Amino acid sequence: MTNVQQFHLPDVGEGLTEAEIVTWLVAAGDVVEVNQILVEIETAKSLVELPSPFAGEVTELHAEPGDTVEVGKPIISIATAGATTPTPSIPEARPATEDEPKLLVGYGAKETSGRRRRRGAATPAPAAATPAPAAATPAPAAATPAPAAVRSGPVRCKPPVRKLAKVLGVDLAEVTPTGLDGIVTRADVLAASTKTPDVMPPPAVAESSVDEIRIPIKGVRKHTAAAMVSSAFTAPHVTEFVTLDITATMELRERLASRRDMKDVKLSPLTFIARAFLRAMERTPSSNSRWDEEAQEIVQLRDINLGIAAATPRGLVVPNIRAAQRLSLAELADAIADLATTARAGRTTPEAMSHGTATISNFGVFGVDTGTPILNPGETVILGVGTISRRPWVVGEGVDERIEPRWVTTLALSFDHRVMDGQQGSELLADTAAVLRDPALAVL
Amino acid sequence: MTDDLFSLLSPDGVLSDAANASVDLRGMFSDMVMSRRVDTEAIALQRQGELGLWPSMLGQEAAQVGAGRALNPRDVAFPTYREHGVAWCRGVDPVSLLGLFRGTTLGGWDPTANNFNLYTLVIGAQTLHAVGYAMGIVRDGDVGTGDPERDRAVLVFLGDGALSEGETNEAFVWAAAQNLPIVFFCQNNQWAISAPYSVQSRVPVAQRAQGFGFRGVRVDGNDVVASHAVTVEALEQARAGNGPTLIEAFTYRRNPHTTSDDDGRYREGAMTDDWTTLDPIERLRTYLTTIGTDEDFFAEVASQETELSERLRAGCRALPDPEPASSFLHTYAEMPADLERQMNDHLEYVAAGEADPA
């Protein structure tokens, strides 16, 4: 005999009330073993993999990636064979609390008094309490196993009707079926599309009309937005630009790249720009500092932890290179390459993104000339690097003066005017540009 | 940093000639594998909502099994909350380790049955309990008689973080001043939750003993043979009346501090990867394979492991809820009248079956 067991979302971190489903590693129809990893969830404390308490066949996933689920709610059903496995204890479901402090260990967030026991009051229903929408995907052909995102729920209807529901933004789970054997008909969908649903479901990507797609703000996007708002509206930004002939640096790069000991080093122009910037920062100590509002102090830092902004499939991340000013050119090149590889693989740790003191954003790789970068919160300077391209440039003097095609780029430096003034900012940018124009200056 | 470590079994599985030929290497291997299984199964149970918390000891099996197997039956062990391998060696039923972390008991086993005390969650507190016990051994006259059936010692476990606690330093002072039969076994796993050892101390753990006036030994904590050898020697000295020793077993906690911790916030994965290559079980497996241990032995251990897993899973879920009176019963040796009145009120209240008004 089979026996369908539900796995309820456990409190994996001493006092957590909810978690977000990140990735399902199994789908309905899969056969799983005890302790096989089913799902990755993200709590206020960490990313956690949940192993299966049961052996058997997955019959249903109760939440979609991106859903926030309350502790104690079922997340998966598994049909187990033979004798009944004892059902795991179900922790009492508690209403979600917002803005929990992120604790490493301990007993979770303190709840505001009265909140925990408030019942049926004005608190809006938490996301997980409303039924998850049926992903309006046509049922898979019988032979192919159901992909993870498809709900094998009770909603039955024909594929063209499903498509219609998707186009009209109708949640099939909410439609009252009138067809034979509980099948949702075209008329049902049309009827449902004209009335406003009682409860708006919060789907992962709700297609509420054909003209707009609503994407929940979360994860890296949410983090980036918060960081940018906090930076843009606390640190008064000044941005300065310099356009320069970087040909000498490009030639130096080619010369060094052909050296045997640089064979395995990825010497990008960015490496040279970073090196010139680090050198200039060392000569302008106020640039490597932090505004401490609370203490009413400017904190000057010894090491430059240089962040490199990286565009990844998950969004913008800014891991940093610790004490970058101490690295040789080859070490710096390696560090930048490692950082980018790790970031693109989505494996950048929060630790690698903390303690940054300055940032370089290489938006030139997207083909743009320049921009006005926004400071990474807590930092005083950020350097934006524009595209490096062949442009006409005036060279020579007097009778030798002529126009030649040269490698040219534009650097943009934003700085926090609370910490630095125009003089220091200008010196920092001019100093960086001078070394790139004439790398020989670096020996001075 | 690892140059001055005492070791006998190298990371690539080569055993030194200096190793005692009579040690039971198969037994050590089996104990390490089984205690690791207790650990991994408990983590899974926590992730399934069966335990509130679990402190993993992954990577520290050699230090714990080496030390645990060095104990005589009459010796007494005082653990922290991470000594699952020592508990295994002492014969404590691993299911009973789970109760504390499931919240069904404040203890879980009878400390006198196996001379293995209850887990102590207060960092360093057990060092003073252990020192007190060692004072009792002295007063019983069970030290330095030369009778192996009578002489006994205390083995107390601590972590690197406990070294920064006042209790631990007081325990060191007292153990030295009274020349007590005690061995301090510090598993330096290098991380006190998120604080690395380097921010706690300028000197290696073992060097601290000098300042208090007793021996300090530094051993490769991922080498079960060496960890065993130094603990055997230190316990012999203690039983003989030659005073305390501080053993530093240099090792690494490969998992987060507990299941509630996210170590990605404070350390790089590369360091954990490095220590994975120094795995204590793999090096002994390599050695046993080299000397031609037959496959049947490994197959037997594997089947015991599977059996243990099933027993842990079923046993965990079957752990009984505590009796309503239990928290009152074990507070005093003899219950004061006032506490007894409170207990009776509570029992009456529970019996009335009212919902918790809290």
Residue B170 located in a structural domain? yes
Q: Each residue of B265-288: pLDDT tens digit? A: 898 888 888 899 999 999 999 999
Residues B351 and B227 in one domain: no
* In a shared domain, residues B50 and B167: yes
Interface confidence: ipTM more than 0.85: no
Q: What pLDDT, on a 0 to 100 scale, did the predictor assign at position A154? A: 56
Q: B74 in a domain, yes or no?
A: yes
Q: What Å distances lie between residue B327 and A357, B81, B331, B339, B351, CA to CA?
A: 52, 20, 7, 11, 16
DSSP state of B203: S
Q: Kindly provide the residue ranges of all beta strands, DSSP E only, lying in A104-258, ordered along the sequence.
A: 156-157, 183-184, 206-209, 212-214, 237-245
pLDDT tier at B58, thresholds 50, 70, 90: very high
**Total domains, chain B:** 2
Q: Specify whether A417 is catalytic.
A: yes
Question: How far apart are alpha carbons B258 and B268 in whole angstroms?
Answer: 17
Q: With an 8 Å Cβ cutoff, are A45 and B46 in contact?
A: no
Angle between helices A269-283 and A329-344 (to 10 degrees): 120
Q: Are residues B186 and B232 in the same domain?
A: yes
Q: Which domains does chain A possess?
A: 1-128 (2.40.50.100), 130-216 (no CATH), 221-443 (3.30.559.10)
Comparing alpha-carbon positions, the chain B residue that sits nearest to A7 is B48
Cross-chain Cβ contact B48/A88 below 8 Å: yes
Same domain membership, residue B340 and residue B236:
no
**pLDDT number for residue A82:** 64
Q: Is the pLDDT of residue B137 over 60?
A: yes
Q: Are residues B79 and B215 in the same domain?
A: yes
Q: Please state, rounded to an integer, the average pLDDT across all residues of chain B.
A: 94
Interface of B with A in 52-111 (CB under 8 A): 52-53
Predicted local distance difference test score (pLDDT) of residue A201: 47
Contacts of A52 in chain B (CB under 8 A): 48
pLDDT at B79 over 50: yes
The answer to whether position B171 is within a domain reads yes
By mean pLDDT, which of A2-11, A94-103, B35-44, B292-301 is the weakest?
A94-103
pLDDT of B277 reads 92
Specify the pLDDT at position A90: 42
If we measure between CA atoms, which residue out of B317, B27, B235 comes closest to residue A53?
B317
Question: Do B31 and B84 lie in a common domain?
Answer: yes
Contacts of B253 in chain A (CB under 8 A): none
pTM (predicted TM-score):
0.61
- Write down the pLDDT at residue A131: 42
* pLDDT of amino acid A300: 94
Residue B99 to chain A, least CA–CA distance (Å) = 14
B273 touches chain A (CB under 8 A): no
Q: Residue B336's domain spans which residues?
A: 323-358
Of A8, A47, A351, which has the smallest distance from its Cβ to B49's Cβ?
A: A8
Domain match, B202 and B340 both: no
Residue B196, chain A, CB below 8 Å: the answer is: no
Cα(B183)–Cα(B227) distance, integer angstroms: 13
- 3-class secondary-structure state, position A408: strand
Mutate to test the interface with A, among B47, B51, B255 (most CBs of A within 10 A): B47
- The answer to whether position B2 is within a domain reads no
**Residue B6 resides in a domain:** no
Q: Are residues B142 and B208 in the same domain?
A: yes
Closest residue, chain A, to B46 (C-alpha): A12
Q: Is residue B90 included in any domain, yes or no?
A: yes
Do B313 and B280 fall within a single domain? yes
Q: What is the CATH number of the domain that holds B221?
A: 3.40.50.970
CA–CA gap between residue B232 and residue B230 (Å, rounded):
6
CA distances to A418, A440, B302 from B45, rounded to whole Å, are 52, 63, 20
The predicted-structure confidence for B241-256, as pLDDT tens digits, reads as follows 999 999 999 999 999 9
Answer whether A46 sits within 8 Å of B264, measured CB to CB: yes
Angstroms from B313 CA to nearest CA on chain A: 9
In a domain, B9, yes or no: no
Are B309 and B354 members of one domain? no
**Which portions of chain A are predicted below pLDDT 70?**
1, 82-154, 194-210
* Residues B334 and B227 placed together within one structural domain of the fold: no
Q: B348 and B309 share a domain?
A: no
Nearest C-alpha of chain A: how many angstroms from B300? 21
In-domain check, residue B216: yes
**pLDDT at res. B354:** 56
Distance between B71 CA and the closest CA of chain A, angstroms: 33
Q: Is B139 an 8 Å CB contact of chain A? A: no
Number of cross-chain residue pairs from A and B with Cβ atoms under 8 Å apart: 81
